[in-house]
Amino acid sequence: MKKQINENGFGKAEIIICLCALLVFMAIGIKSLSENKDSSKFSLLKKQAENFAYKVMIYKDKYTRVDNIYYLDYLLDDGYAIEVIDPFNENMSCDRYESFVKIDGNEKIIELKCGNYLISGVLEEDFTVFRLSEWQENAANGEMAILYNYSKDNTVVNSSYMLENQFIDVFNSNENYSIENLDEFTFSNIELLSKAFYREKQVVKEFKK
């Protein structure tokens, strides 16, 4: 039986092979473009973290911090910074409550959380980018943190538990108070609630000095 040949001299088998090869090259090209795009976003995330640290160094004397930890929340509240845009979602801002700079001697330790990513490192040294899972109560591994809520007249107020800084802001807004830390949480009809939550952290990018 003779092999069927099209007008250009190619058989059906050759055409299928060419199409498969084309699809493979297209997939490789798309993957390469995606990886380059992600790499540029991670680089922008690192640049934002460094800029955040430099901004803290300029304005740190405006605050009295016994623990030498300066949250993005502070700078935003006092007008010393603008919202940091999430490189992976331009419609979202980076987390003001989990992003901070800690000054430890000559080291400036930085953590900047944007969406599901957290970049952590020391200014002018190494950085690591993590992909984060959501906080989960019913887990027993990963990173642990105490999250807070409160009940008023025996009724739980918020639908979810929050990290301390965010909780204090929400509480003050709800109740028209101005407490600055949990030590001031002493009310006759309001009870502070706390639980341990966990999340996974997966390394997705490393920046070496």
Alpha helix (H) residue ranges in the chain: 12-59, 72-77, 164-175
* Segment 63-82 mean pLDDT: 84
Q: How far is CA 128 from CA 13, 90, 113, 194, in A?
A: 49, 22, 12, 30
Please, are residues 182 and 150 in contact by the beta-carbon 8 Å criterion? Answer: no
Task: Say whether pLDDT at 72 is over 90.
Answer: yes
Please, are residues 192 and 158 in contact by the beta-carbon 8 Å criterion? Answer: no
Task: Say whether pLDDT at 181 is over 70.
Answer: yes
Judge if pTM exceeds 0.75: yes
Task: Say whether pLDDT at 7 is over 80.
Answer: no
Report phi then psi at 151, rounded to 5. Answer: -115, 145
Dist CA 114 CA 41 (whole Å) = 11
